[in-house]
């Protein structure tokens, strides 16, 4: 695993736990964690159960005893690491968004396609696809339970930047993060909408706004603690993105990504309306799916609360007795299961780098639309 921090902890949990609950066809070994700072990497490796640590990823991908590279670094290094790892014959799992630019994402998707000819797998980590309720929503749509999809409403709302004096982090630097709320959390809303409906966005009209243009820098000696210094620096990404989109079928969607939604901690919400019914999901109630059957008699109609914890629901049969809840971390174990199954079976996992590229094109189109005064903008291909 290259990189650590928040995503490093989540991915480590997935690698550590998945083999103990799922009957995997291969046995993942947590061999090596890589970080820029040798002492920090060593401490993270010990804490999370990696066998050793290193501070040079280029040397690591040349090692014969490493089969898979898990990339959890900021977006500005995704392309370089992933392309090099694929060329070295390593399977790759890369955190989302796939890259910081469409050009980087194209290069990564091309490298993945070339590597696939040699049996090398590449996956992008849109982990919320693997929340059981979300996968089940996809299954219901695929079965035709909603009929023709007409409208999608999706939002990812957080408030961790609502304090204007919160210090600058790498996520507020466009050179490192690519974009702000749009790429960090809006990418999840876009991928979830396309995953559940099975439809791709074709055009968008949007606006992006930086609500706080300047913040205190973190003191270098205590940067990991988030303590601010007296020096201030510019915020170069968006804090809020709003856009509408048209899917390939003609269905319309509305999307919102905000890190200023006061009171909302991790509210990834989606509602899909079709000719035969509707679905509604909120990550803050992640074991529940709301389903509306428009074909039921009028006196019986209304959204039904489905508790997605039964053995017949996606993934849940390998965990606890029926009715016992799953949490945020379980999606990372499900990701490991699906990736390892694909590698063992000689198939390409999803979401693929091509899927990640599609989301990147949507993000790019939203940014171009905002720059042009919210004009309708094609997603591109």
Question: Which residues of the chain have a pLDDT value below 50?
Answer: 221-225
User: H-type helices in 260-329, by residue range?
Assistant: none
For 125, phi and psi rounded to 5 degrees?
-90, 65
Closest CA to 205 of 155, 252, 163, 172: 252
pLDDT of residue 218: 81
Q: Does domain 6-128 sit in CATH 3.50.50.60?
A: no
Closest CA to 15 of 57, 45, 53, 35: 45
Alpha-carbon span 365 to 334, nearest angstrom: 31
Using CA atoms, how far residue 49 sits from 9, 39, 56, 184, 334, in Å, is: 10, 15, 19, 27, 19
Q: Does domain 131-351+359-371 sit in CATH 3.10.129.10?
A: no
Q: What angle do CA 80, 346, 130 make, to 5 degrees?
A: 70
Straight-line distance from the first to the last Cα atom of the chain, in angstroms, rounded to the nearest whole number: 31
pLDDT of residue 222: 35
Residue-level length of the chain? 381
H or E stretch covering 31? none
For residues 95 and 7, the answer to whether their CB atoms sit within 8 Å is yes
Where does CATH 3.40.50.720 sit in the chain? 6-128
For residues 308 and 281, the answer to whether their CB atoms sit within 8 Å is no
Give the β-pairing of 52-54 and 32-34.
parallel
pLDDT of residue 163: 94
Where does CATH 3.30.360.10 sit in the chain? 131-351+359-371
pLDDT of residue 225: 44
Under 8 Å CB-to-CB from 353, ≥6 apart: which residues?
A: 82, 94, 98, 105, 108, 109, 111, 112, 113, 122, 123, 124
Alpha-carbon span 374 to 362, nearest angstrom: 14
In this structure, what token pair is assigned to residue 350? Answer: 């999803």
Give the β-pairing of 122-125 and 91-95.
parallel
Helix (H, G, I), strand (E, B) or coil at 34: strand
pLDDT of residue 42: 98
């Amino acid at each position: 695993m290259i990189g650590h921090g928040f995503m490093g902890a989540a991915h480590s949990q997935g690698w550590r736990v998945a083999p103990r609950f799922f009957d995997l066809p291969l046995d993942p070994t947590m061999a090596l964690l890589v970080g820029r700072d040798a002492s920090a990497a060593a401490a993270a490796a010990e804490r999370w159960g990696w066998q050793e640590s290193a501070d040079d990823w280029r040397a690591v991908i040349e090692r014969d005893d490493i089969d898979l590279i898990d990339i959890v670094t900021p977006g500005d290094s995704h392309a370089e690491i992933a392309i090099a790892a694929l060329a070295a014959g390593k399977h790759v799992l890369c955190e989302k968004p796939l890259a910081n630019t469409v050009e980087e994402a194209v290069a990564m998707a091309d490298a993945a396609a070339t590597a696939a000819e040699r049996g090398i797998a590449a996956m992008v980590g849109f982990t919320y696809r693997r929340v059981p309720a979300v996968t089940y929503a996809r299954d219901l749509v695929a079965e035709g339970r909603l009929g023709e999809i007409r409208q999608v409403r999706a939002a990812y709302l957080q408030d961790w930047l609502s304090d204007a004096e919160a210090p600058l982090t790498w996520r507020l630097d466009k050179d490192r993060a690519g974009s702000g709320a749009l790429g960090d959390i809006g990418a999840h809303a876009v991928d979830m909408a396309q995953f559940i409906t099975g439809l791709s966005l074709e055009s968008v009209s949007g606006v992006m706004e930086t609500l706080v243009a300047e913040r205190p820098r973190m003191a270098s000696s205590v940067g990991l603690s988030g303590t601010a210094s007296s020096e201030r620096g510019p915020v170069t990404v968006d804090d809020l993105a709003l856009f509408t989109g048209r899917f390939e079928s003609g269905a319309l969607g509305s999307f919102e990504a905000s890190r200023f939604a006061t009171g909302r901690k991790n509210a990834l919400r989606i509602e899909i309306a079709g000719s035969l019914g509707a679905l509604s999901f909120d990550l803050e109630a992640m074991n529940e799916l709301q389903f509306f059957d428009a074909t039921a008699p009028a006196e019986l109609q209304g959204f039904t609360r489905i508790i997605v914890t039964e053995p017949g629901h996606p993934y849940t049969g390998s965990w606890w007795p029926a009715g016992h809840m799953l949490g945020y971390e379980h999606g990372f174990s499900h990701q490991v299961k699906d990736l390892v199954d694909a590698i063992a079976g000689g198939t390409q996992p999803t979401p693929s780098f091509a899927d990640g590229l599609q989301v990147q094109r949507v993000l790019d189109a939203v940014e171009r639309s905002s720059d042009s005064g919210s004009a309708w903008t094609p997603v591109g291909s």
